[in-house]
Amino acid sequence: MLLGALVDAGVPARLFEETVSGLNIGGRLEISRVNRGGISATKVDVYAHSEKDLPREQYWEQQRAAKSRPTRSQGHDPVQFLEHNYAMQEASGPHEHKRGLRQIREIIEKAVISESAKATALAVFQALGEAEAKIHNISADEVHFHEVGAIDAIIDIVCAAVGLDSLGVDEIISSSLNVGGGTVDCAHGTFPVPAPATFELLKGAPVYSSGINAELVTPTGAAIVKAVARRFAPFPKMKVEKIGYGAGTREFAEQPNVLRLAIGETQNVCRVREETVTVLEANVDDSNPQILGYVMECLLEKGALDVFVMPVQMKKNRPGFLLTTLCKPEHAAEMCDLIFRETTTLGVRRRQERRQVLARKWVSVATPWGDVRVKVASINGTITNYAPEYEDCRRIASEQHVALKTVMQEALDRYLQSKNNN
């Protein structure tokens, strides 16, 4: 539905077709115009190995019918699913239907799409993995995405990330979410709507049910909203420029089954994204400073938003360090465990804080020695800051035996040239 709304709002269908082709995982799109409850909308269907993705109810109806038929003799196992996508397909081998986060990251990282689109797609799958991990009491790396890792889900999520990135907007705002009602059949049984993974993903989001007995928000949809929506609010004050309607598969008597996307510009309002972060603090006064450097690297590798150390004077005039970690609330427990395990601290203070962050994106520029990413920050579409990615410049300087400051300056010059040309 999101892909349909994006196409309806003016995102070229060719962009999605090229993205799917570049993924090289055996899928294709079919785009058509349909009518849903009197609303003309764009329908995007994803085909995996010539099979069309199905709504959950239709999928499980076919699965129950298939179980009642004699076992096939070709030696192929039917694809096993969790609860996200419902494409009817068969695996060509034992690994076709068992993709973990690592395999999915590899597919996305190899895709010929922008760095910001890759980051969004990875964030969506990471959110799905963490939700499933919590539901099933395992680690995110142990989660094997049967449906989510299937071809149609990868196409859905990557194309959504590419399409949203192509809009070039500073902020995505979502209305409250109508989750529907009743029950839904999943691989693990029948559950009330919203399904467990969906409910986990919707923590912190305003939700309601209009009384329709159907699943109106899927785990994939919830993960996309979680990854891209900066805030939930009523329709904002804005000058509307484009409108798109994306169609779902089912027809409802109560309301049109469409997703509406509006693109426009806010008037005289400075929008800065706000988010809740967890701040972890630990005093350390009897540790080797080298260990603290190692701990900082570990925390950042685990997904900390920022880590810094400050010298402090502690009791009995002992010099020490204050280790401060900023992370997403859902990562706080893991970060806290790491700090206790790797340092000599006896306590970690934890608090929630609100922070405002500028809109940012990555722009890749070509230098004589290789590509360098430039982080660009903006307010209401006006660029305020830009800086070359240090790790890219450091790698090039080391490999090409060029001064680091030369690489950084060249990257800045190339970015400014491209910005002025545009």
145 and 285 share a domain?
no
70 and 154 share a domain?
yes
71 and 179 share a domain?
yes
Residue among 349, 373, 292, 402 at smallest CA distance from 114? 373
80 and 5 share a domain?
yes
Tell me which of 334, 357, 380 is where a domain ends: 357
291 and 385 share a domain?
no
Give the pLDDT of residue 81.
32
194 and 331 share a domain?
no
What CATH code is carried by the domain that includes residue 297?
3.30.70.1380
Question: 51 vs 89, 146, 199, CA distance in Å?
Answer: 6, 16, 29
pLDDT one-digit tens code per residue, 357-382: 888 888 899 999 999 999 998 876 77
27 and 111 share a domain?
yes
33 and 1 share a domain?
yes
**What CA–CA distance (Å, rounded) separates 327 from 350?**
11
Give the pLDDT of residue 373.
93
Residue among 137, 186, 140 at smallest CA distance from 194? 186
Amino acid making up residue 375:
K
Residues ≥6 apart with Cβ < 8 Å to 265 = 238, 239, 241, 381
401 and 252 share a domain?
no
Give the pLDDT of residue 94.
37
Tell me which of 329, 357, 385 is where a domain ends: 357
What CATH code is carried by the domain that includes residue 385?
3.10.20
19 and 39 share a domain?
yes
Tell me which of 269, 301, 323 is where a domain ends: 269
Give the pLDDT of residue 76.
29
Contact (CB, 8 A) for 155 and 17: no
- pTM for this model (two decimals): 0.59
Domain of residue 369: give its range: 359-421
371 and 400 share a domain?
yes
Residues ≥6 apart with Cβ < 8 Å to 358 = 272, 273, 377, 378, 379, 384, 385
> For the chain, how many structural domains are there in total?
3
**Per-residue pLDDT in tens (0 to 9) along the chain, 422 residues:** 999 999 999 999 999 999 999 998 888 899 999 999 999 999 999 988 766 655 555 554 554 454 444 433 333 222 233 333 333 233 333 334 567 778 888 899 999 999 889 999 999 998 988 888 888 888 877 777 654 447 788 999 999 999 999 998 888 999 999 999 998 877 667 888 898 889 999 998 999 998 899 999 999 999 999 999 988 988 888 889 999 999 999 999 889 999 999 999 876 566 677 788 999 999 998 888 889 999 999 999 999 999 999 999 988 888 999 999 999 988 999 999 999 999 999 999 999 998 888 888 888 999 999 999 999 988 767 788 999 999 999 999 999 999 999 999 999 999 998 887 76
371 and 352 share a domain?
no
